[in-house]
Amino acid sequence: MSAPPASPFAVETRGITKAFPGVVANSQVDLAVRAGEIHALVGENGAGKTTLMNILYGLVHPDSGEILIDGTAARIAGPRDAIAHGIGMVHQHFMLIPVFTVGENVMLGREPVAAPGFYDHARARQEIETLTRQYGLALDPDARMGDLPVGLQQRAEIVKVLYRGAKILILDEPTGVLTPQESTELFGVLRDLVKTGKTIIFISHKLREVLEISDRITVMRRGKVVGHLVTKDTTEQEIATLMVGREVLLRVDKKPAAPGAVAFRVENLTASSDRGVPALRGVSFDLHHGEILGIAGVEGNGQSELVEVLAGTRHATGGRVLLEDRDVTTFDARTERDAGIAFIPEDRRGTGLVLSYSVADNLILGRQRSQAFSWRELVLRLAAVRTWARRLVKEFDIRTPNIDTAARNLSGGNQQKIIVAREMASRPRVLLAAQPTRGVDIGAIEFIHRKLIAERDEGTAVLLVSAELDEIRSLSDRIAVIYEGRIVSIEPGDAPEERLGLLMTGGGVETRTGAA
């Protein structure tokens, strides 16, 4: 699979340096990507990966250093220059317009025009069809973007980049939002792309994927390049150690749970999705203090709606939720929080953070009115807030110049760490954790996993939703499998992967062990 060693460099950075207030995001970064290879860029949260890619794409201007395309120095003052040099970028947070069709999104800014003022639909559709056929990227040009699953939205982003003539594709954490199935499909697409001569730069925190898909790897740590590796000659452990600067435990150590009384009783819960179709069709289970109950399921089977209803951010259409015998079904998010329910939402940029607020303010978000931070609910106890924020930044290793920095200026993974820190540190009775490690680096995953176990051991009832079956299996004491809005079985924490896989796709229920 690896590119011949003699293939020339499609893109190089030499001595790229970029400082932001309080942090050197890139320091003398040398990156050399061979034509026709898949080059992985890895490193801790805040290591400088996105910054380097934004520089290549012309979104950020370096303080010094140069960029070479096909061996020649290139001036990239903005995305227009980058596109002209054949560089395309698929951002971590998609930039598509949900109410437009796939075709309209792909053409955006480059519409073929039949007559002045008219957009040539027929020609646009034809060009997209040619592209999708050429690269095996099945996609309906007339589908409305907002109706597509995230995997297909990403595919549309890729088609858009190809339509603009990209030879070098940058994918910043493309699998962060994908289901395992979608990731496999994406890898097929990437392999086809390099076969046709494209060059790919691929960022991921999932080292298994990096080993599977890449030819070579560049490792960054705190703004610097700390290693160049050839994929076939390295291991997950070696990459992790280079990234983090110490040995990383790649598995979870935990004692058996000692579950206590029922914390949460969910009875016959029903709810609708954003599109108004039934998403939960009668979900029942008990969640005990001192246990981690994992929800396993193929994405889109109701797990998102379930945590939202439990967290009070979505209305139930029927059924009941009892928190220690108190009916909390109709509580709103604030009341739920005051009742001791903490919530790590999957959508960090939507519900979890206010990007324009400081790190400190985000660390007390939703708890501004609690006694620890306010005086008669009016005056924030500033000193208390600052002490609290500094403590969490340190404990959760949130990489930020200081606690007054706006959350928007933090790297993606460090934004996620703010939410995790805030919710876990609130000493909740029930912790609802949806994709708690999405986008965080391997050292932070290890830390968050240990914290979840520690919370459990202190008696917190933890509900864990994750797209990563491995994560569910290594943390959960019991596993509830959700399929088409129903819990089809509750399995022991050590249930075999094959059995869970079968249940998740609607099979195997006749031998169910019985839902609690």
Ligand X SMILES: Nc1ncnc2c1ncn2[C@@H]1O[C@H](COP(=O)(O)OP(=O)(O)OP(=O)(O)O)[C@@H](O)[C@H]1O
Binding residues vs ligand X (CB under 6 A):
20, 23, 25, 43, 45-51, 399, 409-414
CA distance 96 to 300: 21
CA distance 209 to 186: 11
Q: C-beta of 41: minimal distance to ligand X in Å?
A: 8
Q: C-beta of 89: minimal distance to ligand X in Å?
A: 13
Task: Select the binding partner of residue 294 from ligand X, Mg ion, none (C-beta < 5 to 8 A, by kind).
Answer: none
352 binds Mg ion (CB under 5 A): no
412 binds Mg ion (CB under 5 A): yes
Closest CA to 383 of 364, 407, 357, 408: 364
50 binds Mg ion (CB under 5 A): yes
Residue with tokens 């994908």: 178
CA distance 154 to 148: 10
Residue with Cβ nearer Mg ion (50 or 400): 50
Residue 100 CB: number of other CB atoms within 10 A? Answer: 16
CA distance 91 to 414: 17
Residue with Cβ nearer ligand X (399 or 486): 399
Task: Select the binding partner of residue 345 from ligand X, Mg ion, none (C-beta < 5 to 8 A, by kind).
Answer: none
Task: Select the binding partner of residue 25 from Mg ion, ligand X, none (C-beta < 5 to 8 A, by kind).
Answer: ligand X
Residue with tokens 């914390």: 263
Token pair recorded at residue 163: 């339509």
CA distance 117 to 113: 7
Q: C-beta of 459: minimal distance to ligand X in Å?
A: 32
Residue with Cβ nearer ligand X (61 or 195): 61
Residue with Cβ nearer ligand X (25 or 419): 25
Q: Choose one: 139-147, 214-222, 407-415, 464-472; the region binding Mg ion (CB under 5 A).
A: 407-415
CA distance 418 to 353: 8
Closest CA to 45 of 508, 460, 420: 420
Token pair recorded at residue 470: 């491995």
- Nearest residue to ligand X by CB is 413
Task: Select the binding partner of residue 56 from Mg ion, ligand X, none (C-beta < 5 to 8 A, by kind).
Answer: none
Q: C-beta of 405: minimal distance to Mg ion in Å?
A: 16
Q: C-beta of 95: minimal distance to Mg ion in Å?
A: 15
Task: Select the binding partner of residue 43 from ligand X, Mg ion, none (C-beta < 5 to 8 A, by kind).
Answer: ligand X
Binding mask 366-405 for Mg ion (x = CB under 5 A): ----------------------------------------
Q: Is 205 helix (H, G, I), strand (E, B) or coil?
A: coil
One-letter amino acid of 223? G
Distance of CA 330 to the CA centre of its chain: 29
Interface residues toward Mg ion, by CB under 5 A? 50, 411-412
